[in-house]
């Protein structure tokens, strides 16, 4: 829009006003990393290499790492994007997400434990 | 603040107006992208509640089939591949759009759209197969939360494809204008966001559902 704006803010010409620079290298790195981070958990589960409980935590770990990888390489998120507001909104969302998820799981787990024997979710599939 | 300055200095109006313009215009073009990001974050919360529902109900089989019996992991792996591939092809579309190459942008958009449709067709096939086997959403708490979560993600992909087709037409009509580039950037965020959600769908629903 205005010329001086271009100069003092991000100023990388191109006629595009966006801070993001889309580069093939970023996408390639993100893609290869995501592919590896997807293939390993699938392989772990399909071959039942580890004990189920260990597998659960390991594949959750892989998902978390892949989340970060895609945020950086595909969504081009950094602490500087949109003057930090993107990151602030993301942090707030993650806080809310953790509260909703852990709260629901925690509350419902205790409720199930306090229910009458035979009504918990672990026993329901034995009843018909 | 700059308005007060303008009122105090009074004098030459044109200079004050431009001064105000600069002060206000800290990052105006990104306004849309920031707003879109906020929408995505609120969408995240929608998915969070669906994931929480699945976390609570995911093992309530009510005597019906379990995830281990129903899920075909190789099918899910293929679908994950489609979505991941569509992410990088959308990336190529953005790179082409940045280089002002309309034909290439459109080509990559078509490829992305086809991959999105392939993902959707496999998902619809999976849903049909489940319902046909008597494992429809009304069978158990597990299946209700499963269909709600995976179905909502599928609906997002469907709307992403509709948006993609719309943008394709816009590009064909007007070329890569700043407005169209902004729209592409928003759709790019949306599309990658759907892949992000899918990471947790396949980990949390499919892989963990198969584990004992």
Residues of B in contact with A18 (CB under 8 A): 29-30, 33, 181-182, 185
Burial-class residue B68 by CB neighbours within 10 Å (0-12, 13-18, 19+).
exposed
What residue of A is the nearest CA neighbor of B21?
A: A2
Q: What is the ipTM of this complex?
A: 0.81
The pLDDT of residue B112 is above 90: yes
pLDDT in tens, B121-153: 999 999 999 999 999 999 999 999 999 999 999
**CA-based R_g, chain A, Å:** 22
Rounded Cα distance between A97 and B52, Å, is 9
What is the DSSP code string of B111-171? HHHHHHHHHHHHHHHHHHHHHHTT--TTS-HHHHHHHHHHHHHHHHHHHHHHHHHHHHHHH
Q: What is the mean pLDDT of chain B?
A: 88
Nearest of A53, A125, A4, A20 to residue B18 by alpha carbon: A4
Which residue of chain A is at minimal alpha-carbon distance from B89?
A27
Nearest to B181 by CA among B93, B114, B89, B87: B93
> Which residues of chain A does B186 touch, with a Cβ-Cβ cutoff of 8 Å?
none
Whose tokens are 């105090």? That residue is B8
Do the Cβ atoms of B71 and B206 come closer than 8 Å? Answer: yes
Q: Dihedral of the CA atoms B26, B28, B34, B36 (nearest 10)?
A: 170
**What does pLDDT average to over chain A?**
79
Q: Which uninterrupted H or E stretch holds A45? A: helix A24-47
User: Lowest mean pLDDT: which of A15-29, B28-42, B56-70?
Assistant: A15-29
Domain extents for chain B?
30-210
A120 has a pLDDT exceeding 80:
no
Cα(A64)–Cα(A37) distance, integer angstroms: 10
Q: Which one, of B184, B186, B193, B124, lies nearest residue B156 by Cα? A: B193
Q: At B19, list the tokens.
A: 């001064």
Q: Is the pLDDT reported for residue B6 higher than 90? A: no
- In this complex, the residue of A75, A85, A101 whose CB is nearest that of residue B55 is A101
Q: Which residue has the higher pLDDT, A79 or A5?
A: A79
Residue B62 C-alpha from the chain's centroid: 33
Chain A interface, mutation test: which of B144, B211, B212, most A Cβ atoms within 10 Å?
Answer: B211
Report how far apart, in Å, the C-alpha atoms of B169 and of each of A80, A107, B184 are. Answer: 33, 49, 12
Q: Looking at the predicted structure, is the pLDDT value of residue B10 above 50?
A: no
Over residues B110-116, mean pLDDT: 97
Question: Per CATH, is B30-210 categorized as 3.60.70.12?
Answer: no
Which residue in the block uniquely carries the two structure tokens 């991941």?
A: B84
Q: Which residues of B touch A63 (CB under 8 A)?
A: 199-200, 203-204
Query: The pTM is what?
Result: 0.81
Structure tokens at B46: 């929608």
Closest residue by Cα to residue B118 from B84, B168, B74 = B84
- For residues A33 and A70, give the distance between their C-alpha atoms in angstroms, rounded to a whole number: 9
Q: Quick one: pLDDT band at residue B11, thresholds 50, 70, 90? A: very low
Residue A116's pLDDT band, with cuts at 50, 70 and 90, is low
Q: Taking a C-beta distance cutoff of 8 angstroms, is the pair B75, B119 a contact?
A: no
pLDDT digits (tens, 9 = 90+) for B99-109: 999 999 999 99
């Amino acid at each position: 829009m205005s010329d001086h704006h271009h100069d003092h803010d991000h100023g990388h010409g191109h006629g595009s006003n966006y801070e993001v620079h889309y580069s093939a290298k970023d996408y390639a790195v993100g893609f290869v990393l995501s592919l590896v981070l997807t293939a390993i958990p699938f392989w772990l589960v399909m071959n039942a290499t580890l004990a189920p409980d260990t597998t659960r935590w390991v594949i959750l770990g892989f998902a978390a790492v892949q989340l970060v990888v895609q945020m950086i390489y595909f969504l081009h998120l950094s602490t500087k994007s949109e003057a930090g507001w993107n990151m602030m909104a993301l942090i707030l969302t993650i806080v809310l997400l953790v509260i909703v998820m852990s709260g629901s799981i925690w509350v419902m787990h205790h409720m199930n434990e306090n229910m009458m024997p035979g009504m918990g979710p672990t026993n329901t599939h034995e009843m018909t | 603040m700059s308005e007060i300055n303008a009122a105090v200095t009074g004098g030459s109006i044109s200079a004050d107006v431009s001064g105000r313009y600069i002060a206000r215009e800290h990052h105006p073009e990104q306004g849309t992208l920031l707003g879109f990001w906020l929408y995505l974050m609120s969408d995240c919360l929608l998915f969070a509640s669906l994931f929480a529902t699945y976390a609570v109900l995911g093992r309530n089989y009510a005597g019906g089939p379990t995830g281990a019996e129903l899920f075909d992991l190789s099918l899910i792996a293929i679908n994950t591949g489609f979505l991941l591939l569509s992410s990088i092809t959308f990336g190529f579309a953005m790179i082409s759009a940045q280089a002002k190459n309309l034909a290439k942008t459109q080509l990559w958009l078509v490829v992305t759209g086809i991959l999105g449709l392939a993902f959707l067709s496999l998902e619809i096939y999976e849903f049909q197969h489940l319902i046909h086997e008597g494992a429809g959403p009304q069978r158990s708490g597990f299946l209700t939360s499963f269909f709600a979560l995976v179905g909502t993600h599928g609906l997002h992909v469907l709307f992403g494809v509709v948006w993609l087709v719309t943008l394709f037409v816009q590009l064909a009509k007007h070329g890569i204008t700043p407005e169209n580039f902004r729209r592409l950037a928003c759709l790019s965020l949306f599309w990658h966001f759907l892949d992000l959600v899918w990471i947790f769908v396949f980990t949390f629903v499919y892989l963990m559902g198969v584990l004992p």
